[in-house]
Amino acid sequence: MDTFIIEGGIPLQGEVTPSGNKNAALPLLAACLLTDEPVVLNNVPNIRDVHTMRALLESLGVSITELAPSRWEIHAREVRPAALDAGLCRRIRASILLAGPMLARSGGLHLPPPGGDVIGRRRVDTHILALRALGAEAEYQHLERRFVFHTRGLHGAEILLDEASVTATENAVMAAVLARGETVIRNAASEPHVQELCHLLNAMGAHIEGVGSNTLHIQGVERLHGAEFTIGPDYLEVVSFIGAAAVTGGSIRIRRAAPEYLGMIRLVFNRLGVTWEDDGPDIVVPAEQSLEIRPDLGNAIPQITVMPWPGFPTDLMSIAIVVATQAKGSVLFHDWMYPSRMFFTDKLVGMGAQIVLCDPHRVIVNGPAQLVGETLESPDIRAGMALVLAALAAHGRSVIRNIGQIDRGYERIDTKLQGLGARIRRATAE
């Protein structure tokens, strides 16, 4: 099992370019099942979750060729419904994204339960209800431990999602583009990766209106054709670099960062005393920022709460908490989506952070605290990256184990941080 060994206290300096958005790459790869023509994707991140999705697609008969680094041709000329590998499905939550396109293309799929990060109970009910509205039948077979999806033909429908789920929205969209008639999806997720999926599908010949809003209008078509598409930058990685620069007192430029997506994220980080400048497509984080939490009116402790997009995303809560440990003042963080998101904070407390766990959904951070190096275990992708930031800010050496979790979502993060001057190295256990 690989580990990161990090010597903290070094201000980051230099330039870095984020990889393609993992959360866009996974549904875009699944969408390639919807046509028998080749689809070319550029800026594909070289990370574990993407390679797991590739293996799942190849098991269905899809041909995938790497034309160049980060440039893939995906050709689903003939799709053969197969028994998907349960071990592969357990590795990523995104395996559920195969249901929508396989219903549209082949009439069904047998799907072992999806996996992914262990951050609380993650429902699939919204997926099933949306697909049933489009004419699919779905059941869970307990003995075989699999979901069975099948249909005699998909049709348009009025769908009101009971939660603005990203992957449920993506599944419904992929099924609806080849369904007969018109589909309206209300309370749809509108994250950048949902928008990118819709843009790819439109480039393939789909008719989707309302992209970027919470109401999508989809007119089904008979077939889709091939296309070429470039995946945008991973805004979660962008903000991770912003946070890393802030907690180390460094100054960095993030190339091709798509700052137009960071509106609410900027507001939240401003409340923690973190600022940055937009320079065209780049972001510049200035050095030695005075991190101080801005109180609410009446000097009340501010509250930072996750919300569906364009609100503050749950996947950045862990990063924001680490930044708050280095800021003067107190702040309450509330993640109502996942009951286990906050449990990683005990590792920060072990490093010297002043954090009160109010309940599984809320913590109060009092800063600033001098963090010291520690041996840590990465529990999931986002908390793992947050621990990397904590180690960069800490005095002394930290060892982070189980970094395979981090590798699932961050491409060559150690190499990129080394390019910014961080003292981080990967050690491979014998």
Nearest CA-CA partner of 321 in 289, 364, 372, 266 = 364
On the CB side of 138, CA atoms within 13 Å amount to 22
pLDDT tens for residues 22-71? 999 999 999 999 999 999 999 999 999 999 999 999 999 999 999 999 99
Q: Is 358 left (phi over 0), alpha (psi -120 to 50) or beta?
A: alpha
Residue 430: its pLDDT value, please?
55
Rounded CA-CA distance 400/409 in Å is 16
Q: What percent of the chain has pLDDT over 90?
A: 90
pLDDT tens for residues 135-173? 999 999 998 889 999 999 999 999 999 999 999 999 999
Three-state DSSP class for 97?
helix
Look up residue 58 and give its DSSP letter.
H
Domains defined for the chain, CATH in brackets = 3-19+233-427 (3.65.10.10), 22-230 (3.65.10.10)
Residue 313, token pair as written in the block: 């995303």
In the structure, what pLDDT confidence band is assigned to residue 298 with cuts at 50, 70 and 90?
A: confident
pLDDT tens for residues 225-275? 999 999 999 999 999 999 999 999 999 999 999 999 999 999 999 999 999
Residue 122: its pLDDT value, please?
55
Nearest CA-CA partner of 18 in 171, 170, 166, 192 = 192
Whether 117 is a known active-site residue: answer yes
Three-state DSSP class for 140?
strand
Angle between helices 22-31 and 192-203 (to 10 degrees): 30
Q: Over 50: is that where the pLDDT of 118 sits? A: no
Residue 397: its pLDDT value, please?
98
Q: List, as own/partner pairs, every contact residues 423-429 make where C-beta atoms lie below 8 angstroms and the sequence separation is at least 24, other chains included.
A: 423/6, 423/7, 423/8, 423/10, 424/4, 424/5, 424/6, 424/7, 424/388, 424/392, 425/4, 425/5, 426/2, 426/3, 426/4, 426/5, 427/2, 427/3, 427/4, 427/5, 428/2, 429/1, 429/2, 429/3
Residue 68: its pLDDT value, please?
97
Give the dihedral of Cα atoms 426, 391, 303, 362; nearest 10 deg: 70
Given the residues 2, 36, 85, 117, select the one marked as catalytic.
117
Q: Over 50: is that where the pLDDT of 120 sits? A: no
- For residue 233, list its beta bridge partners: 20
Q: Over 50: is that where the pLDDT of 79 sits? A: yes
